[in-house]
Amino acid sequence: MSVWESILVALDNLRMNKMRSFLTMIGIVFGVAAVVTVVSIGQAGQYSIMSELSNYEDGYFVIYPKSDNGRIEDNAYFRLRDLAEIRKLPEVRYVSSSAAHGMTGKHKKEELQFSITGTTSDSPKMKKIDMVAGRFFNSQEERARQKVVVIEAKFADKAYGSPQAAIGRKIQLSGGMFRIVGVYREQESLMGGFGGERYFAYAPITVMPGREGTNDRLSMLEILPASPEKMDETIDALKSWLADRKNVGKDAYVTESAEDAEQMIKSTFSILQTIIGSIAGISLIVGGIGVMNIMLVSVTERTREIGIRKAIGATPGNIRFQFLIEAVMLSFIGGTIGALFGLSAAWVFALISGWPFVVSLWAIVLAFGFSAAVGIFFGWYPARKAAKLQPIESLRYE
């Protein structure tokens, strides 16, 4: 009896008990669907955050004063004038700072909410800013405190019809009239959907509110080292310079690199996936117990059939294989349906959340491997029981 024939016989048997097979499969379907959904969404999330992180140049890191129970020593803050001096350090290639300010803008009498990031002209050299028209503001404009702005394409399209049409226009913001010099495309962000409708833009850090006069504290700096491999040396040099300059300890500052964030996100996701995956795995085990239960019932019901098969020449191995295949088919079909459900759920989630839809091969392999393993594991005992039945006693069974 070939494997293929055994599979056909098993399918035949399952078809003869449609309702029962279906109900038994549901447990496996849910278990596998849960595993596939969790793994797929997890990978999509990871992929989406990682692709955001890849917008930063290699070696990029930020540095900020360490807070002691929420308090930061005033002299530890960075100042605008520090930027120029840090740029002169041999270990540093570019330095910048970014801070977002909520501003109200006016366009054709309509009030619009903006989130304007005050930064330096070095910003586009450290992270990807996807320009679609015009240019980023330059260092002269920054030094001369010119009110120029780089707006996002979504706003350009809405207000002026196209990115090109926006160049050279002026827009009323809470900080005054700003001239549009460039249009960029905002990255689809993980958090993009939250916080209501607002538009993003970049403007020189020197024209942001609170930058005039002496109150020009910056809470963080963005650094790109001269060479990405020498990030640690750069951090060390920078900390020494700051400690010296600001009269604080070397440990008064903390750094965070894109690489650190990547590691952290990876481990966070893997912990999350392990936890949720384990819970999903439990439902798979419960499903497997369902398979075992129904197989035990089936063995008892078919005791006489087993006796007949043995009388005409079935070996214990033939019988064991027959029942094992049946259990595996049960969980395998359940696994297939579950995987389809899981992928559909992940796809729907991707549509709603804006995350990419990642068909995770790993999730599918896991689901099929798991369901087949469940079938073998929970089918083994009933199959063994069937194989061990004595032919003469089985034949007498009514």
Partner 1 sequence: MIVLKGITKIYKNGPLEVQALNPIDLRIEKGEFVAIMGSSGSGKSTLMNIIGCLDIPTSGSYELDGTPVESLGEVELARIRNRKIGFVFQSFNLLPRQTVLQNVTLPMMYAGVSREKRNERALELLRRVGLAERVKHRPNELSGGQKQRVAIARALTMNAPLLLADEPTGNLDTKSSHEIMALFKEIHAEGTTIVLVTHEPDIAGHADRIITFGDGRILSDKRKGSAGE
Which is closer to partner 1, CB of 131 or CB of 308? 308
Is residue 147 a contact partner of residue 207, using CB atoms and an 8 Å limit?
yes
For residue 310, state whether it binds partner 1 (rule: CB under 8 A): yes
What's the rounded Cα separation, in Å, for the pair 59 and 138?
23
- Give least dist CB 2 to partner 1, A: 8
Which is closer to partner 1, CB of 248 or CB of 308? 308
3-state secondary structure of 126: helix
For residue 18, state whether it binds partner 1 (rule: CB under 8 A): no
Which residue from 316, 349, 373, 397 is in contact with partner 1, where contact means CB under 8 A?
Answer: 316
Contact window for partner 1 (CB under 8 A) among 189-197, 219-227, 270-278, 304-312: 304-312
- Give least dist CB 270 to partner 1, A: 48
Bridge partners (DSSP) listed for residue 94: 224
Residue recorded with tokens 């405190």: 145
Task: Select from 10, 23, 37, 45 the least CA-distant residue to 367.
Answer: 37
Which is closer to partner 1, CB of 230 or CB of 385? 385
Which residues in 312-347 are b (16+ Cβ under 10 Å) and which e? eebeeeebbbbbbbbbbbbbbbbbbbbbebbbebbb
- Give least dist CB 298 to partner 1, A: 12
Which residue from 185, 259, 305, 377 is in contact with partner 1, where contact means CB under 8 A?
Answer: 305
DSSP codes of every residue in 265-333? HHHHHHHHHHHHHHHHHHHHHHHHHHHHHHHHHHHHHTHHHHHHHHHTT--HHHHHHHHHHHHHHHHHH
Size of the site for partner 1 (CB under 8 A): 22
Which is closer to partner 1, CB of 127 or CB of 310? 310
Contact window for partner 1 (CB under 8 A) among 8-16, 53-61, 181-189, 282-290: 8-16
For residue 228, state whether it binds partner 1 (rule: CB under 8 A): no
Task: Select from 320, 123, 91, 281 the least CA-distant residue to 204.
Answer: 123
Is residue 60 a contact partner of residue 249, using CB atoms and an 8 Å limit?
no
Cα separation values, 94 from 88, 89, 90, 137, Å: 9, 10, 10, 16
Rounded to 5°, the CA angle 210-184-356 comes to: 110
Size of the chain in residues: 398
The interaxial angle of helices 18-53 and 258-301, nearest 10 deg, is: 170
Contact window for partner 1 (CB under 8 A) among 110-118, 162-170, 302-310, 328-336: 302-310
For residue 391, state whether it binds partner 1 (rule: CB under 8 A): yes
- Give least dist CB 386 to partner 1, A: 13
For residue 312, state whether it binds partner 1 (rule: CB under 8 A): yes
Which is closer to partner 1, CB of 13 or CB of 283? 13
Which is closer to partner 1, CB of 4 or CB of 194? 4
Which residue from 70, 90, 196, 313 is in contact with partner 1, where contact means CB under 8 A?
Answer: 313
Cα separation values, 102 from 96, 99, 199, 384, Å: 20, 10, 10, 70
For residue 317, state whether it binds partner 1 (rule: CB under 8 A): yes
Q: Write phi, then psi, for 369 (nearest 5 degrees).
A: -60, -45
- Give least dist CB 322 to partner 1, A: 11
Contact window for partner 1 (CB under 8 A) among 92-100, 211-219, 299-307, 328-336: 299-307
For residue 353, state whether it binds partner 1 (rule: CB under 8 A): no
Which is closer to partner 1, CB of 175 or CB of 307? 307
For residue 320, state whether it binds partner 1 (rule: CB under 8 A): no
Which is closer to partner 1, CB of 86 or CB of 330? 330
Which is closer to partner 1, CB of 138 or CB of 300? 300
Task: Select from 92, 95, 65, 74 the least CA-distant residue to 83.
Answer: 95
What's the rounded Cα separation, in Å, for the pair 303 and 397?
7
For residue 19, state whether it binds partner 1 (rule: CB under 8 A): no
Which is closer to partner 1, CB of 177 or CB of 311? 311
For residue 279, state whether it binds partner 1 (rule: CB under 8 A): no
What's the rounded Cα separation, in Å, for the pair 28 and 290?
9
Site residues (vs partner 1, CB under 8 A): 1, 5, 12-13, 16, 304-305, 307-318, 391-392, 395
